[in-house]
Every structure is written in structure tokens, then in C-alpha cells.
Structure 1
Amino acid sequence: MIPAFTIHPAPTTFIVNVIHVHPGQQEEAFHLIQDVVHYVAERKPGFLWSNLAKSTDGLTVVNIEAITDPGDVAIFFSDPVFLEKFRKLDTVSTSEFHTYTVGDLVLPKAAP
């Protein structure tokens, strides 16, 4: 499957994980969540894509991840290796983890 935007997209589930890093720990937090996401991308069929970003103020790292179904979250967290990797984030941060489904897709207005 190749990710692409369409006018009428299939319903998609997004994970948004805002990682509030301890002072001076942004790079470490980024590498830890990067390891988690790459693990999921290589092993979990519900994974579609992920954007990993670091805030310019050095205070947060964000993972915005598309998955096929809200139930995929439970599958990911039932994997002991995933859990071990994910829990390492607790040593350098606190985080907010939420699951969303798309309610509206807004695209730029097409030129006439």
C-alpha cells in the first residue's frame, strides 16, 4: 500500500504522542521513539506511516502515526519488546498518548 491523499480518504486512525522531555533530553527522547516506531514499522501490519518531529524550543518530541484501526494500539502494546522499548521513554520524558479518527480532511482550494 502506498500512502496518498485523496478527496474521499478511507477512514484512518492516528496516534498522536506528545513527548515532554526532561531538560536536555530531547535528542535521547527522539532516538528512543524513533526506535519504537521503526520496530512497529518493520513488524506490525497495522502500521501505515509516521512523522517524528522535534520542537524548535527543545521541550518536546511528537510522533504522529497513521494506523489502520484503533484496535492496532492494543496489538502494539501487547508485544513485550514494544513495551520494553516504549517504557524507556519514561527515563527521559513524560508523554501524552491519544488515538484519533479523521473527522474532516481539509485541502487547499484548487486554483480556478
Structure 2
Amino acid sequence: MRTPPSPTFAIHPQPTTFIVNVIHARPGMQDDAFHLIQEIVRYVAERKPGFLWSSIARSLDGMTVVNIEAISDPGDVEVFFSDPVFATMFDRLDDVSTSEFHTYTVGDLVLPKVAS
């Protein structure tokens, strides 16, 4: 199995593709949605070479979960969804939530001004 690259920070980043999945949990099911997307992301992280990293967050209002995930190429999305285990896991997420799933590429990087 190929060792994935370690995350690094660079002033001029390599083109990166981001998945932003806003998960709208059904009432009282935010924890279920959070745990299911964790399971899905961990599955991808362990098996798919296009996976780079993910940040998963819960809203404080108890209504949404957001997965922001960096992948190596927009085509990775199709690879992930073509995996029957992944697709089944995503179906389970649909049982407790609805999702807005979008793919982005980095267009700009803004950093804080460094004091001289």
C-alpha cells in the first residue's frame, strides 16, 4: 500500500481539491450524523490514495455537521463513490440527514500579515 503524503503548509500551495459536505441532521440526530461521517472519512483515509486530510465539525446549534476534505483530484470523488462499501456507508448517512455536497479547487490563499 502506498504511503500517503504528510500534510504540509506552503506559501504557494499545490492545486488542491476540496470536498465540502454540509450535512443537515434530522432533529436529534446530529451525533449520529457526526459519527457516520467520521466512519466514512476513516474508511476513505485508510483505503483511498487520493485522500489527503479531513476536518469534521459539528455546529453548536445541534443541526449540522460539516466535512471539509482535501483530495488529490476531482476524479477521486467518482473513485470513492464507485466503492460499494463507501456507497452503502453514505446511504446510512442519508437515513439520518440530508447533504449539500460540493467540490472546489483553491483559487486563492490568504494569510495574516507577518510583523516585520
Q: Give the TM-score taking structure 2 as reference length.
A: 0.95
**Which sections of structure 1, spanning at least 5 residues, go unmatched?**
none
1:90 paired residue number: 94
Runs of 4+ in structure 1 off by over 6 angstroms are: none
- 1:20-59 aligned at under 5 Å gives the runs 20-59=24-63
**Which sections of structure 2, spanning at least 5 residues, go unmatched?**
none
Which residue of 5, 9, 15 maps to 1:5?
9
The number of residue pairs the alignment matches comes to 112
How far apart, in 2, do the equivalents of 1:49 and 1:9 lie? 15
Shift of 1:90: 1.0
Q: Share of identical aligned residues, percent?
A: 74
Tell me the alpha carbon deviations over residues 34-73 of structure 1, each in whole angstroms, 9 at most, x when there is no partner.
Answer: 0100000000000000000000000100000000000000
Tell me the alpha carbon deviations over residues 68-90 of structure 1, each in whole angstroms, 9 at most, x when there is no partner.
Answer: 00000000000000000011111
1:17 paired residue number: 21
How far apart, in 2, do the equivalents of 1:5 and 1:84 lie? 34
